[in-house]
Amino acid sequence: MSAAGVAARPSPIAGLGLFATREFAVGERIAPYSGQASRVPPPAVGPGDKIYALEIAPGLWLDGASEDNVARHANHACHPNAELIWDEPAGVAWLTALTPIRADEEITFDYGFSLAESLFHPCACGAPDCVGRIIATPLRPALRRHLRFSRPRD
């Protein structure tokens, strides 16, 4: 599965990942995260089920489960090279480069999970400072404190 400039293929992070097939400059749009927008949150999923729905604005959800949405394969990373930007007038969410991206580099973004959501979603990005859970960047220090104080003591 591919689109202009990107392709889905096996990822060392998880399942299929999204990879650049050409270079992208900082700020360049990589691929649209397409799907049906809704004011109703998606239904809960079971363990092991894939989640493609994103809250792109407060109270606005985008269901990216369609096979036509190649951007759905972008994995989470603690140090992402892309971000998802909602273009409200156009009604499109775009994966946009945060850093220069080389051809064959995996494209990742911060899923922005809450503390509660993070408890059910391990992170396998491989970053040296990865906290081990998919969680929004601003919440990582709180999770680290929680994990430090919840460990068994000697």
Asked if residue 126 is part of any domain, the answer here is no
Mean pLDDT of the chain: 80
β-pairing verdict for 16-20 and 6-10 = antiparallel
Q: Is the pLDDT of residue 56 over 80?
A: no
Q: How many domains does the chain have?
A: 1
Query: Tokens for 146?
Result: 């929680």
Q: Is the pLDDT of residue 151 over 80?
A: no
Q: CATH number of the domain that 106 lies in?
A: 2.170.270.10
Asked if residue 152 is part of any domain, the answer here is no
Encode pLDDT of 79-110 as tens digits: 899 998 888 777 788 899 999 999 999 999 88
Mean pLDDT in residue range 122-149? 74
The whole domain housing 19 covers 2-111
Confidence tier at 40 by pLDDT (50, 70, 90)? confident
The model's pTM is 0.80
Asked if residue 148 is part of any domain, the answer here is no
Helices (H), strands (E): how many in the chain?
2, 11
Instruction: Report the pLDDT value the prediction gives residue 137, as an integer from 0 to 100.
Output: 74
Encode pLDDT of 64-85 as tens digits: 777 788 888 888 888 899 998 8
Q: What stretches of 34-121 adopt beta strand conformation (E)?
A: 36-38, 53-57, 60-63, 75-76, 82-87, 92-97, 106-109
Q: Is the pLDDT of residue 154 over 50?
A: no
Q: What percent of the chain has pLDDT over 70?
A: 79
